[in-house]
Amino acid sequence: MGTALVYHEDMTATRLLWDDPECEIERPERLTAALDRLRQRGLEQRCLRLSAREASKEELGLVHSPEYVSLVRKTQVLGEEELQALSGQFDAIYFHPSTFHCARLAAGAGLQLVDAVLTGAVQNGLALVRPPGHHSQRAAANGFCVFNNVAIAAAHAKQKHGLHRILIVDWDVHHGQGIQYLFEDDPSVLYFSWHRYEHGRFWPFLRESDADAVGRGQGLGFTVNLPWNQVGMGNADYVAAFLHLLLPLAFEFDPELVLVSAGFDSAIGDPEGQMQATPECFAHLTHLLQVLAGGRVCAMLEGGYHLESLAESVCMTVQALLGDPAPPLSGLMVPCQSALESIQSARAAQAPYWKSLQLQDVTPVPTSPSTHSPEGRPPPLLPGGPMCKAAAPAPAPSSLLDQLCLCPAPSVRTTVALTAPDITLVLPPDVIQQEGSALREETEAWARPHESLAREEALTALGKLLYLLDGMLDGQVNSGIAATPASAAAATLDVAIQRGLSHGAQRLLCVALGQLDRPPDLAHDGRTLWLNIGGKEAAALSMFHVATPLPVMTGGFLSCILGLVLPLAYGFQPDLVLVALGPGHGLQGPHAALLAAMLRGLAGGRVLALLEEDSTPQLAGILARVLRGEAPPSLGPSSVASPEDVQALMYLRGQLEPQWKMLQVGAFTPQK
């Protein structure tokens, strides 16, 4: 449905006119660097370009006092000395004669973006703006921010579009205290912010940035703060925060719109943040948010002061908004101890207000004392198992950025190789119906060991699947759907795994739904992670062989995906994903779509879905759409997990946490 890019050149006008080491990083080149890179990558050309308009006095009045708006208006005619004097009345602020115009464009850009998304003109978008907004308050400029762009957009979405639930995700490295103050008693706006905090020793030095600030009055539980108490947080820490804190609450909240305070000072290289997350992490964060609110995501630029890192991260965000698969994350996926402690304290503070966090933290799992080091970033522990030998150590920051510049644009093609002629599929545009098939002799050779593949229908289906798989392995096709007779599902999956492993896949994740057993001849070499959802009982036969019953309730299904499937998948870092909906999988279309959509974040989107031939065309259609990058339909308000669902999850977490560190939801802090 399209991605909007809202911009106006005039927003490069405002700049610092005097010496101020604190403010000099907020400069016009931030916007031009981001935009130039988007053009270079051909991403700008793929977006719907919208020229920003100025927000009106009334629109600014949605969150700011009339006195404050007129004060900022008057800065247009002030001389340099007066501007400097006025700027000095605020914390980390400079005014320029063009600031009022720029700040009105920045707020207006957000309004246009929200209007474009909520009228259905586009699916999502990014507003490239300055000055930023999230520190600005009802009657105060603060931290380079003049008008609170995201807060104004949220208020507008409520007032003009009648929305009742808006999620604001603030991934800027600073606490958007302005947004927090404006909505702290409002249950219709869920505000999530992570930020460099260092136990209160980092700007803006506020007690209310800590995890125990959870909102007030009606808004209790609708402010979610995740303070980082150390610098150096990286991809694993950010993804863990999403999986174990933000996303459970977000699904339970069931937003109609997601606004992102998209600051990129939380990325590697930034002088303010001092964090380690690489640009491609923002593709993953964006991708994870797109499963909410039917994919209605509006991102607005906040901070980000390392031009190279900023430009790359902006590109990654836009790529994800466009529906391109996310590049795999680099580095070991092991959250650090300090991050786990922060996530745990935020979960504990929020637990009274969110069902999805209750029942879960019954027994805190003690973590190995060797992961704890009082100073600096603790060295990540190598998880056990042979696959880990393959994982390269994280490259140094600068070389990582260099590498990313060379990263080729991923292929987005999805192929559907369905065999049953009675499935008349309405294929989404650009999804290819595959005609090809592997050579007959080759197909027969693969089929020979399997009795269930002797039938003609099964052989035909296998030939098509092998052809599709080869296309994926040599990069001609990104993802695909294949069908097989139900009786041949297990054998076909077995062949697909063997073929994948022998034709280029280093690590293969297989998510098998329904009655599908792990192929008995599959090697235990750590190259395949077998995850069966639909087993009789929860069991971890090894760290690479996990079974869990299909959750009964939607809430249980969500915690299974967020609390088990994705942590294992992100920890394993596969380069090929097979999802098989086998006999008795019992999965409803929207649930299957959500699973497929989220698994698409792995392996550069190389996902092959295997269906039974008598699956409904609706199921095949919905999977084809999410695999090509469309948002899954929203599940609606989710029921709680059943006690059995919770128990299975808790059991597996206990079994697997020592090897799969991404499963950890928090750290057990020993009592003194």
d(CA 274, CA 295): 31
Nearer to ligand X5A, 168 or 412 (CB): 168
Told to judge if 134 belongs to the known catalytic residues of this protein, a careful annotator would answer no
Q: Which of residues 91-110 bind ligand X5A (CB under 6 A)?
A: 92
**How many chain residues are in contact with ligand X5A, going by CB under 6 A?**
14
Residue 362 one-letter amino acid: V
Shortest spacing between CB 150 and Zn ion, in angstroms: 13
In the DSSP assignment, the letter for residue 336 is -
198: contact with ligand X5A by CB under 6 A:
no
Which does residue 657 bind out of Zn ion, ligand X5A, none, counting CB within 5 to 8 angstroms by kind? none
174: contact with ligand X5A by CB under 6 A:
yes
Closest residue to ligand X5A, based on beta-carbon distance: 303
Closest residue to Zn ion, based on beta-carbon distance: 303
Per CB under 5 A, the list member of 54, 115, 170, 172 interacting with Zn ion is 172
Per CB under 6 A, the list member of 108, 110, 125, 132 interacting with ligand X5A is 132
Residue 578 bridge partners (DSSP): 510, 608
Using a 10 angstrom Cβ sphere, with 0-12 exposed, 13-18 middle and 19 or more buried, the burial of residue 432 is middle
The closest of 584, 555, 562, 585 to 645, measured between CA atoms, is 555
CB atoms within 10 A of CB 49: 10
Nearer to ligand X5A, 45 or 205 (CB): 205
Per CB under 5 A, the list member of 110, 133, 232, 303 interacting with Zn ion is 303
Which does residue 567 bind out of ligand X5A, Zn ion, none, counting CB within 5 to 8 angstroms by kind? none
CB 408 within 8 A of CB 325: no
Nearer to ligand X5A, 47 or 92 (CB): 92
d(CA 459, CA 3): 42
d(CA 442, CA 165): 55
Nearer to ligand X5A, 176 or 526 (CB): 176
145: contact with ligand X5A by CB under 6 A:
yes
Both tokens of residue 72? Answer: 């900022």
CB 103 within 8 A of CB 84: no
Nearer to ligand X5A, 41 or 134 (CB): 134
In 19-175, where does DSSP find H-type helix? Answer: 29-40, 57-60, 66-74, 80-87, 99-118, 149-161
**How many chain residues are in contact with Zn ion, going by CB under 5 A?**
5
Map residues 566-605 to x or -, x wherever contact with ligand X5A holds by CB under 6 A. ----------------------------------------
265: contact with ligand X5A by CB under 6 A:
yes
Per CB under 6 A, the list member of 302, 308, 312, 630 interacting with ligand X5A is 302
The closest of 286, 306, 323 to 47, measured between CA atoms, is 323
Using DSSP, state whether 394 is helix, strand or coil: coil
Helix axes 99-118, 149-161, angle to 10 degrees: 40
Span from 32-40, 165-173, 279-287, 334-342 in contact with Zn ion (CB under 5 A): 165-173
Span from 138-146, 320-328, 366-374, 561-569 in contact with ligand X5A (CB under 6 A): 138-146
Shortest spacing between CB 304 and Zn ion, in angstroms: 7
Using a 10 angstrom Cβ sphere, with 0-12 exposed, 13-18 middle and 19 or more buried, the burial of residue 128 is buried
Both tokens of residue 399? Answer: 């070389």
174: contact with Zn ion by CB under 5 A:
yes
d(CA 600, CA 566): 11
d(CA 361, CA 351): 9
Cis peptide before 131 (omega within 30 of 0): yes
Which does residue 92 bind out of ligand X5A, Zn ion, none, counting CB within 5 to 8 angstroms by kind? ligand X5A
Per CB under 6 A, the list member of 170, 172, 186, 341 interacting with ligand X5A is 172
Nearer to ligand X5A, 145 or 412 (CB): 145
303: contact with ligand X5A by CB under 6 A:
yes
d(CA 223, CA 567): 25
Both tokens of residue 391? Answer: 């994982």
Span from 256-264, 343-351, 452-460, 622-630 in contact with Zn ion (CB under 5 A): 256-264
d(CA 220, CA 386): 46
The closest of 517, 260, 574 to 566, measured between CA atoms, is 574
The closest of 443, 434, 597, 609 to 513, measured between CA atoms, is 609
Which does residue 341 bind out of Zn ion, ligand X5A, none, counting CB within 5 to 8 angstroms by kind? none
263: contact with Zn ion by CB under 5 A:
yes
Nearer to ligand X5A, 115 or 172 (CB): 172
Which does residue 94 bind out of ligand X5A, Zn ion, none, counting CB within 5 to 8 angstroms by kind? none
Which does residue 44 bind out of Zn ion, ligand X5A, none, counting CB within 5 to 8 angstroms by kind? none
Span from 87-95, 237-245, 285-293, 299-307 in contact with Zn ion (CB under 5 A): 299-307
CB 330 within 8 A of CB 609: no
Nearer to ligand X5A, 197 or 203 (CB): 203
Shortest spacing between CB 229 and Zn ion, in angstroms: 17
Which residue of the set 135, 174, 195, 244 is catalytic? 135
CB 192 within 8 A of CB 221: no
Map residues 379-408 to x or -, x wherever contact with ligand X5A holds by CB under 6 A. ------------------------------
In the DSSP assignment, the letter for residue 244 is I
Span from 139-147, 248-256, 474-482, 625-633 in contact with ligand X5A (CB under 6 A): 139-147
Both tokens of residue 5? Answer: 């890019």
Which does residue 22 bind out of Zn ion, ligand X5A, none, counting CB within 5 to 8 angstroms by kind? ligand X5A
Q: Which of residues 464-523 bind ligand X5A (CB under 6 A)?
A: none
d(CA 531, CA 511): 5
Shortest spacing between CB 20 and ligand X5A, in angstroms: 10
d(CA 477, CA 608): 10
CB 590 within 8 A of CB 625: no
Strand bridging mode 189-196 / 166-170: parallel
Span from 71-79, 141-149, 441-449, 591-599 in contact with ligand X5A (CB under 6 A): 141-149
Q: Which of residues 40-99 bind ligand X5A (CB under 6 A)?
A: 92
DSSP string covering 112-131: HHHHHHHTTS-SEEEE--SS
265: contact with Zn ion by CB under 5 A:
yes
d(CA 541, CA 627): 30
Which does residue 527 bind out of Zn ion, ligand X5A, none, counting CB within 5 to 8 angstroms by kind? none
d(CA 427, CA 281): 31
Binding interface with Zn ion (CB under 5 A): 172, 174, 263, 265, 303
Residues identified as active-site: 135
Binding interface with ligand X5A (CB under 6 A): 22, 92, 132, 135, 143-145, 172, 174, 203, 263, 265, 302-303
